[in-house]
Amino acid sequence: MTEDSLWQTFLDEQLASFLSSLRDKDIQTPFSIEAKMLEWEGLGKTRCFIAMRKHIRHAKVTAFEKTFEEFKAQSRASLWTSYLHKHLVKFLKSVPESEYLQDKETLLATDANIVNTWLSLEPRALYKAMRPWLSQPVIKQFQNRYRAFKHRGLKNIETIEVSPKTKQLIDRVKGETYAENYDEVFEMLFSKDYAVTTDEDVAAAKQRLSDELPPSTNLFFEHFLSRLNPNDRNRVKMLIELSYNAGWDDAKKSKKRKGNPKMEALVDFEFFNTAARIVNTHNLDDDTEA
């Protein structure tokens, strides 16, 4: 979880009991618990502590802050343990034998008990234990995956809409880069802070994705038309048809090949000149108002 999501979870679990436990000697300025809960639950950590110190004695606020740090450490330890038990074995099985420094089957053998020991280790201890077995790039990849998992706001899940073709491309990248989920795919492709994007496999997948994405012009036009009312959509359709037919007729008549006949014809085209004049007029009006 992110710092913000941890803080919000902590407030949801602890704020009411903390305020109810305060005695008269702990309070500097009297306040309504219900009112302050509504106010403070919407604040970030720093602003919340500042607001608390206006009403509650500093020693109590400091103790509450220490409780949050303990909660944060415990939550992250729990997150690490959960991640290991869900993903470590699956990750080790996915690593090619060529990336192992010792025998892969020996490591994964249930009677060897090596992986079971790894499941109980803290991050630094685990990475150290991995070094005699796995190449450094593989260990780095596991570190990056956990780092991305840890920093994602797991509660902040949104729904996005993509075309079936785009989803197929994303699924391909997910498979080729061994991404854990779609969040990790997008972080690999777009985040400058996600170190694994330097991997050759990810770079190659990004290139293939960019080469295969469908042209965006028609998608832009489709979204534009959807924002118009029915009458305006019909007008746009009619103008496109008139423009296309006019261009087709002019192209058949034109024999000019020198210079830039296409641009010269555009400059002489009435619809284009009308649109350009209106766009320029409105842009000038906007600049004047600014």
Neighbouring C-beta atoms of residue 90, cutoff 10 Å? 10
Q: What is the pTM of this model?
A: 0.41
* Same-domain check for residues 68 and 84: no
Say if 62 falls within a structural domain. Answer: yes
Where does the pLDDT of residue 181 fall: very low under 50, low under 70, confident under 90, or very high at 90 and above? confident
* Same-domain check for residues 100 and 63: no
Please give the tally of structural domains in the chain. Answer: 4
Say if 136 falls within a structural domain. Answer: yes
Tell me what pLDDT residue 213 has: 60
Say if 274 falls within a structural domain. Answer: yes
Two tokens, residue 219:
């998608």
Say if 226 falls within a structural domain. Answer: no
Say if 233 falls within a structural domain. Answer: no
Of the candidates 186, 177, 230, the residue with the CA atom closest to the CA atom of residue 204: 177
* Same-domain check for residues 21 and 39: yes
Where does the pLDDT of residue 153 fall: very low under 50, low under 70, confident under 90, or very high at 90 and above? very low
Indicate if the pLDDT at residue 195 is higher than 60: no
Among the candidates 52, 75, 98, a domain finishes at 75
Say if 229 falls within a structural domain. Answer: no
Among the candidates 75, 108, 136, a domain finishes at 75
Where does the pLDDT of residue 155 fall: very low under 50, low under 70, confident under 90, or very high at 90 and above? very low
- Buried b / exposed e along 240-260 (16+ C-beta atoms within 10 A): eeeeeeeeeeeeeeeeeeeee
Kindly state the percentage of the chain with pLDDT values over 90. 18
Indicate if the pLDDT at residue 115 is higher than 70: yes
What are 1-36's pLDDT values in tens digits? 567 777 888 888 889 999 999 999 999 989 998 888
* Same-domain check for residues 90 and 71: no
- The per-residue pLDDT of the chain, averaged, comes to 80
Say if 219 falls within a structural domain. Answer: no
Tell me what pLDDT residue 144 has: 86
At 130 the three-state DSSP class reads helix
* Same-domain check for residues 24 and 47: yes
Tell me what pLDDT residue 197 has: 45
Among the candidates 14, 48, 75, a domain finishes at 75
Spatial distance between the Cα atoms of 207 and 202, rounded to a whole number of angstroms: 9
Domain that holds residue 11: 3-75
* Same-domain check for residues 109 and 126: yes
State the DSSP string of 150-208. HHS-TT--------HHHHHHHHHHHHHTT-SSHHHHHHHHH-TT-GGGGSHHHHHHHHH
Two tokens, residue 246:
């006019």
What are 66-97's pLDDT values in tens digits? 999 888 888 777 878 888 988 899 899 989 98
Say if 231 falls within a structural domain. Answer: no
